[in-house]
């Protein structure tokens, strides 16, 4: 969450071009990979997160939160939630 409306709009357009610090950029890179191709996540992805200061607990939290949202969104899509 952010009160910075410019940042919110930049993230909506494309997080890759938004002004983010190294931690946020690494986290979003990881989350995108986890979402789009989870079987491709490997040790080097964890190493990239550690390189910008995330510890194992933070990596677990990022993984759990992203996985939970992926699960909920897939369930909603499968059940037609929000469709007319």
Tell me the pLDDT band of 52, cut-offs 50, 70 and 90. Answer: very high
Q: How far is Cα 28 from Cα 48, in angstroms, rounded to an integer? A: 12
Nearest CA to 33 among 1, 74, 4, 62?
62
Q: Quick check: is 14 in a domain?
A: no
The enclosing domain of 64 has a CATH number of 1.20.1290.10
Q: In this model, does residue 68 exceed pLDDT 70?
A: yes
pTM of the model: 0.86
Q: How far is Cα 69 from Cα 58, in angstroms, rounded to an integer? A: 17
Number of domains in the chain: 1
Q: Quick check: is 54 in a domain?
A: yes
Q: Quick check: is 12 in a domain?
A: no
Compute the average pLDDT of residues 26-32. Answer: 98
Q: Please give the structure tokens belonging to residue 19.
A: 């002004």
Q: Quick check: is 3 in a domain?
A: no
Q: Quick check: is 32 in a domain?
A: yes
Cα-Cα-Cα-Cα torsion 75, 79, 81, 83, nearest 10 degrees, comes to 130
Residue with token string 């939290």? 61
Tell me the pLDDT band of 2, cut-offs 50, 70 and 90. Answer: low
Q: Quick one: pLDDT at residue 81?
A: 92
């Amino acid at each position: 969450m952010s009160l910075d409306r410019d940042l919110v709009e930049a993230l909506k357009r494309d997080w890759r071009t938004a002004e983010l610090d190294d931690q946020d950029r690494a986290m979003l890179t990881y989350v995108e990979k986890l979402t789009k191709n989870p079987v491709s996540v490997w040790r080097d992805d964890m190493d990239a997160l550690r390189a910008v200061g995330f510890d194992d607990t933070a990596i677990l939290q990022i993984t759990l939160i992203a996985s939970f949202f992926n699960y909920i969104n897939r369930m909603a899509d499968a059940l037609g939630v929000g469709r007319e």
